[in-house]
Amino acid sequence: MIKEGWEAVIGMEVHAQLATSSKIFCGCAVETGGEPNSNTCPVCLGLPGALPVLNRRVIELGARAALALGLEIQETSVFSRKNYFYPDLPKGYQISQYDKPFSANGTLTIMTSERDDQGRAVEWKPMKIHIERMHLEEDAGKNVHEGLPDVDKYSYVDLNRAGTPLGEIVTAPDFRTSWQAYDYVNHVRSALRWIGASDADMEKGNLRCEANVSVRRVGETGFNNKSELKNLNSVRFMQKAIEFEIERQIDAHEKGEPVNQETRLWDEKNQCTRVMRSKEDAHDYRYFPEPDLQPLVVTSEFIESVRREMPELPDAMRDRFVTDYSLSFADASHLVSDKDLAFFYEAAAEASGNPRVTANFILSELQRELNNSGRSAADCPFPPGELASLIKTLDSGSINNNQAKEVLVEMFASGKSASDVITEKGFKQVSDETAIAKYVDEVIARNQDNVDAYRAGNEKLFGFFVGQVMKASEGKANPKVVNEILRSKLQSNDG
C-alpha cells in the first residue's frame, strides 16, 4: 500500500531473448551451457573488418512479438550503434535501434489486482498499458568473476551470448503500483511464450526486466528523479524491489533528503535496494546509424504472412471466450493467461456443452491442483474429455457440486476416469422420487414430536428434517428432490 497523499510512477523495460537458433548478425549458434567462447566468430568477437548480416528469423519472431503486444510494426527501422566500453562488448558498441525502432505505439490490455497480506488477489480489473516501442538489438557477452566477494581474483569474459537477439519492450510510465508492474511482466511473458517468440524464462536470463520508479504527491503532474532497478532475477523480486523503492523515496522526500537519479540493485538477503551507480556515471551513448547495415524495410505482405502463421492470439481468444461462452472478462483473461490452460478449457467446454461450469471448475479446483503440484495444464493427469464427462454427470443431477469437486481432486491424484472415481466413492446420487419419498416417510414417522412442532410454526426444524433424510440415504439423496418432497409431506396433514 502506498502512503496516502503519494503516488508512484513506474515504467517498465523488458528484454526478451528471441528464440532463434542462431545469433542476430552471424551464423553462430545460440545455446546455453556451451564451452565458454565456443560459439563465436569474427563478427560476434568484434574483429576488425567483420561485417554483420541480419538474421531473417529475428525479424519474423520480432514481428510475432510486436503483434502479440499490440505494437505497430514500422515500415522502415534503422539499426544504430550504441557506444560504450565494457569488457563483454568487444566492438565497443552495441548494435541496437534508437530513433527508428522496429515497432512502436502499442496498446495492451492486461488484468491486474492489488494483493492482500497473504499475497492473494483482491479484485481483478482490466488495465490499458501504452507500450512505447519494441526495438531489436544484440545482447552483450558475460563477465564471470572468480574469488568474489572478498577478493576479485580473476575475471573472465565469455562471448557465447554476444550477438544473441533481443527485443527490448519499453512502456510509458503507466504503472502506479508494484503489483500492476508484476501483472504486466507476467502478461508479457505468457504472450511471448504463447506465440513462440521467446522462451521468456527469467531464471535462465532470457527474460530480463528493469523498472524505472519515482514518486510524486497526488495531483502533481511533473516527474521527480527516478531510480532504475536492474538485475531483477524474478518477477516477485522485481515487485518487492519496486515496493521498497516507493517507500524509500517517499520517506526521503518527506524528510527533505535528496532522491538521486541512479541505478539500484535488489538485495534479496537484506530485502532492500542498493546503489549500483549514480547519475555521474551515466553514459552518453552517442548513437548514430550503423553504417554496415541497410535500413530495415518490412512490407505489409511480410507482416500478413507472419500473422497468418501465428496461432490465435490470447487477446483474440479471450474476446471469443467472452462472446461464445458467455464468460466474464476476468474469467476469460485468466484462462488465456496460460496457453495450455486455454486449450484445455476450450476442449473441455466443447465436450461438456457447459462452458460456464467448465470454466468454474478449471479456475477454482483444477488450477489449485495444478499450482499445488507445480504442473501445467499440458501435464494434467486426465484429458479435457474426462473433465467434460464429470461436468455432464454433475449436470445430469446424479452427483452434487461438492461431490464433483471431490471427484476432480481424486481424478487428479490418481489419473482415473470420472466414472471410476464416482463408482469407487459410491457417489451415485439418488434422484428417484419414490425412493426419496420412502426415506422422508421413515423420518416423519420417527420424529412425530418435531413434525407437530414444525406444523405448529417452528419452521427452523426444516433443516433438521433435511439432515435426517440425507443421513437415512447415506448422503446420496439429491437435496433438491429431498426439499421438494419434504415440504409437500410436512405441509399436508396426512403424515
Task: List residues binding Zn ion (CB under 5 A).
Answer: 26, 28, 41, 43-44
Contact (Cβ atoms closer than 8 angstroms) between residue 114 and residue 239: no
Please identify which residue in the block is written with the cell numbers 499445488. Answer: 372
Residue 434 φ then ψ, to 5°: -65, -45
Rounded to a whole number of angstroms, the minimum distance from the CB of residue 283 to Zn ion is 25
Nearest CB to Zn ion, comparing residues 21 and 305: 21
Rounded to a whole number of angstroms, the minimum distance from the CB of residue 34 to Zn ion is 12
Of 86, 115, 122, 93, whose CA–CA distance to 25 is shortest? 93
Task: Name the burial class of residue 198, with classes exposed (0-12), middle (13-18) and buried (19+) by CB atoms within 10 angstroms of its CB.
Answer: buried
Nearest CB to Zn ion, comparing residues 44 and 111: 44
Q: How far is it, in rounded angstroms, from Cα 201 to Cα 209?
A: 11
Rounded to a whole number of angstroms, the minimum distance from the CB of residue 278 to Zn ion is 35
Rounded to a whole number of angstroms, the minimum distance from the CB of residue 47 to Zn ion is 10
State the distance between the two ends of the chain, measured CA to CA, in whole angstroms.
Answer: 62
| Helix (H), strand (E) at residue 115 | none
Check residue 141 and give left, alpha or beta (phi > 0: left; psi -120 to 50: alpha): beta
Nearest CB to Zn ion, comparing residues 41 and 303: 41
Nearest CB to Zn ion, comparing residues 31 and 442: 31
Rounded to a whole number of angstroms, the minimum distance from the CB of residue 22 to Zn ion is 8
Q: Residue-wise over 387-401: b if at least 16 C-beta within 10 A, else e?
A: bbbbbbbbeeebbbe
Residue 259 φ then ψ, to 5°: -110, 110
Contact (Cβ atoms closer than 8 angstroms) between residue 215 and residue 250: yes
Nearest CB to Zn ion, comparing residues 26 and 140: 26
Query: Interior CA angle at 169 toward 87 and 371, to 5°?
Result: 105
Contact (Cβ atoms closer than 8 angstroms) between residue 394 and residue 401: yes
Q: Which residues pair with 127 in a beta bridge?
A: 110
Task: Name the burial class of residue 459, with classes exposed (0-12), middle (13-18) and buried (19+) by CB atoms within 10 angstroms of its CB.
Answer: exposed
Contacts of 225 (CB under 8 A, 6+ apart): 214, 259, 260, 261
Q: How far is it, in rounded angstroms, from Cα 194 to Cα 322?
A: 19
Using CA atoms of 391, 392, 397, 398 in order, give the dihedral in degrees to the nearest 10: -90
Nearest CB to Zn ion, comparing residues 44 and 134: 44
Nearest CB to Zn ion, comparing residues 53 and 172: 53
Rounded to a whole number of angstroms, the minimum distance from the CB of residue 39 to Zn ion is 7
Nearest CB to Zn ion, comparing residues 28 and 195: 28
DSSP state of 419: H
Nearest CB to Zn ion, comparing residues 19 and 111: 19
Nearest CB to Zn ion, comparing residues 161 and 253: 161
Rounded to a whole number of angstroms, the minimum distance from the CB of residue 44 to Zn ion is 3
Alpha-carbon radius of gyration of the chain: 30
Rounded to a whole number of angstroms, the minimum distance from the CB of residue 55 to Zn ion is 11
DSSP state of 55: -
Rounded to a whole number of angstroms, the minimum distance from the CB of residue 94 to Zn ion is 15
Rounded to a whole number of angstroms, the minimum distance from the CB of residue 84 to Zn ion is 20
Please identify which residue in the block is written with the cell numbers 457417489. Answer: 427
